[in-house]
Structure 1
Amino acid sequence: MLYAIYEWWREAFTNGESWAEAWSFLNILKYLTVRAALACMLTFVLSLVFGPRVIRKLISLKVGQPIRSAEEVHKLHELHGAKAGTPTMGGVMILGSVLIAVLLCGRAMNPFVAVTMFVMLGLGLLGFVDDFTKVKLKNSDGVSARTKLAWQFGIAFVAACFLFFKPEVAGTLEYSEPKRATIENVVAEDGEVSERQDRYPPKDATGFWVQIDGKAERMSSSELTAPLLKKPMFDLWYLAIPFFAVIIIGASNAVNLTDGLDGLATGCTITTSLAYAVLAYLGGHLVLGFDYLHIAYNPLLGELAVVMMALVGASFGFLWFNCHPAKVFMGDTGSLAIGGALGTAAICTKQELLLVIIGWVFVMEALSVMIQVGSFKLRKKRVFAMAPIHHHFELRGWHESQVIIRFWIISILCAMLGLASLKII
């Protein structure tokens, strides 16, 4: 909406309409950084304003979080038993505020924005059904694992196909102007100034581009990139579709597993979303991203930063109520949606493998469950006192607040490490 206002003003200004000169400040709305910052502040304010009302409504509907019995979790029940009845489904605060902010501050028809919001809202709906089922049945089972996985795969498969086949993403659209966009003139060997026609992508190019040996080369959306490497490693071709789906499903479930302590998943979401907001901005910036850092460039990618910054602001606002002792839980409504959005953002920015570093806390939580289950099935022994791993540290004597803050610290450091790896070649 804000960008539409800018375009309306720009057209009037170009046509020489008198009022447009007085309203020249609207020119600021074209800047991505301004709209991303506004989205972040808007979601934070919306969460603070409507958060208490949402919490009161959830309490009135008696949608309290079911807590597993002492027979199921033993000592952990003593640590978390008091949380029984705390309202869940608080993820609706995050989803609602992000949706409003994206519609107001972003460009909803941008393919990267559209697919990320599709995944986020689709998985949020799945989480809502899961949470509602838990509350209705008054147990922690919810939707069956098979049904949940099928729903996740369906959403992820649609998103993966969109990212693989969409012309603006895949780069299958033809551009009309063959001349390369140049940033600087280069002095030739004979002393004359000439233009490097092959250093930068065409002005109206689509899809992804990467700079290899000083030349701009087309990059398929199915090619896999890695930290510390300028060139893509290899092309997955049609295997990219299941690969993308696995990333979305894995990220969604990883965040869901992390959401076990007050504010743990929310705090880690802030650092991971902020890092991918930076990556999206750089991926859509010709000078900083393509020319300086040599990362995959797509002229439409920068708009994804609005979505990520909206998620940052919404997470800060939710953390206001979710910090220990939590007044509300995000539930699967929030955790599944957030994980799906982060996984989609990693694919859109062509930084899929970097998600392992930036989102290490989420990865660590998921790995701990896989190791625990695998070890018990193979050796009949447990590696951790309890999985996910945050419960292991609780049972080893760490206070809940210690676990949360220390995991936040790890998340911040990993996000910084992930961003730092962009320039180390």
Structure 2
Amino acid sequence: MFLEFINFFTQFDTGFNVLQYLTLRAILAMLTSLFITLALGRFFINKLQQLQIAQIIREDGPQSHLSKAGTPTMGGILILFAFISSVLVWGNWYSVYLWVVVVTGLIFGAIGFADDYLKITKKSSNGLSAGQKYLAQSLSAIAIAVWLVNNPQPIPTDLLIPFFKDWTLPLGAIGLAVFSYFVIVGSSNAVNLTDGLDGLAIMPVILILGALAIFSYISGNYNFAQYLHMPFMPATSEMLVVCAALIGAGLGFLWFNTYPAEVFMGDVGSLALGAILAVIAIIIRQEILLFIMGGIFVAETLSVIIQVAWYKRTKTRIFLMAPLHHHFEKQGISEPKIIVRFWIVTLILVLVALASIKIR
């Protein structure tokens, strides 16, 4: 939207052209979403408290979590509001992929909102049933995957293999749509499972977004893409602004979500953030690197799958409790230590992914 005003004012002074630069718009998008989150955060938390929109704690969870009961939840609404507001101001409205990401956030945020709402109204840690949630996610992911494959700004259908210059896996349009479905649903659920401790999920999301922003900038710049032997995809360059806006919103939310948390993002935030990460990775063709960078998310998800499968088979447990962060809590490791260690692991994995830019 703002770009239209800039184009109008450039006829009077060409100096306004600087505001069209991609990197400057990304910086301003990050600052805008950060300011919105910080400015509205306290008011938003107070409003949640007034409406008694509070976290429902699992009865079978760690005893240390009982003190978290009553903490406001559904803070993901604030993240999405700041993110989308910033993107609509600084983003290029002619970018199809900008709208794909925005719609993805709204749809999966709505699924999470329904889940959170049912938990609050029923005063239970159970919201939507597993089947209901999976069906809603699946239908949404299918629609988004088809949209990604069939649009006026097509992306390559080959799967990029990191660390190898010329290795790709041809998927074709149908293959890409099917693959995208699994990436979106898997990522959405993985972030949701990880969001169990104060700030545990949001910081890895921010770190991964930072790396995705770098990859989107490279792939959207012809000179950098050619020099680094990466596919040139000019339509994806707008993802830099999108990533920056979400980083700003995430940092603003972390201000209130850091231990001890004043607000939780809830499923409305975690489901949306996971899906957005997946869609951005698909657009810039870095799904495998998302898997690597999101190693913490992957480990959390696998811990649940393994625990459930093993218990059904043997009636015994491998982990003291799943997801994985609860296992470490049961071992007596303090919550802040678990959180920071997970952050450090994510940072290491992100650096490994960034190394693939030159190691190929």
Instruction: Please say if 1:379 is aligned against 2:314.
Output: yes
- Contact 2:115-2:267 within 8 A present in 1 as well: yes
CA deviation profile, 1:243-291 (whole Å, cap 9, x unmatched): 1011001000000001000001011111011111111111101111x21
CA deviation profile, 1:156-185 (whole Å, cap 9, x unmatched): 111111111213114xxxxxxxxxxxxxxx
Letter in 2 for 1:6: I
Partner of 1:287: helix, strand, or coil? helix
Instruction: Please say if 1:267 is aligned against 2:267.
Output: no
- Contact 2:199-2:339 within 8 A present in 1 as well: yes
Which residues of 2 match residues 67-216 of structure 1 at below 5 A? 67-69=57-59, 72-73=60-61, 76=62, 78-170=63-155
Residue of structure 1 equivalent to 2:5: 5
Equivalent of residue 227 in structure 1, options 138, 147, 162:
162
Partner of 1:234: helix, strand, or coil? strand
Letter in 1 for 2:33: T
Answer with 290-299 or 132-141: which moved more: 290-299
How big is the shift at 1:232?
4.6
Q: 1:231 to 1:52 in 2, by over 3 A?
A: same
Letter in 2 for 1:380: K
TM-score by length of 1: 0.82
Higher RCO (C-alpha under 8 Å, 6+ residues apart): 2
Partner of 2:163: helix, strand, or coil? coil
How big is the shift at 1:377?
2.1
Aligned-partner Cα distance in 1 for 2:110–2:324: 27
- Contact 2:161-2:169 within 8 A present in 1 as well: no
Residue of structure 2 equivalent to 1:356: 291
Which residues of 2 match residues 17-32 of structure 1 at below 5 A? 20-21=12-13, 24-32=14-22
How big is the shift at 1:394?
0.9
Instruction: Please say if 1:334 is aligned against 2:269.
Output: yes
- Contact 1:3-1:107 within 8 A present in 2 as well: yes
Aligned-partner Cα distance in 1 for 2:186–2:154: 22
Residue of structure 1 equivalent to 2:183: 247
Instruction: Give the number of the structure whose alpha-carbon radius of gyration is greater.
Output: 1
Let me know the Cα RMSD of the aligned residues. 1.2
Q: Which runs of 4+ in 1 moved over 6 A?
A: none
- Contact 1:156-1:245 within 8 A present in 2 as well: yes
Residue of structure 2 equivalent to 1:207: none
Answer with 378-387 or 392-401: which moved more: 378-387
CA deviation profile, 1:187-235 (whole Å, cap 9, x unmatched): xxxxxxxxxxxxxxxxxxxxxxxxxxxxxxxxxx321111012235222
Higher helix proportion, which one?
Answer: 2
- Contact 1:131-1:142 within 8 A present in 2 as well: yes
Give the percent of matched residue pairs that are identical in Structure 1 and Structure 2. 42
CA deviation profile, 1:359-392 (whole Å, cap 9, x unmatched): 1111111111112112222333322111111111
Equivalent of residue 227 in structure 2, options 281, 292, 310:
292
Residue of structure 2 equivalent to 1:47: 37
CA deviation profile, 1:23-51 (whole Å, cap 9, x unmatched): x3311111111001111111111111100
Aligned-partner Cα distance in 2 for 1:317–1:147: 32
Answer with 122-131 or 370-379: which moved more: 370-379
Letter in 2 for 1:55: I
Residue of structure 2 equivalent to 1:37: 27
- Contact 1:55-1:328 within 8 A present in 2 as well: yes
- Contact 1:2-1:29 within 8 A present in 2 as well: no
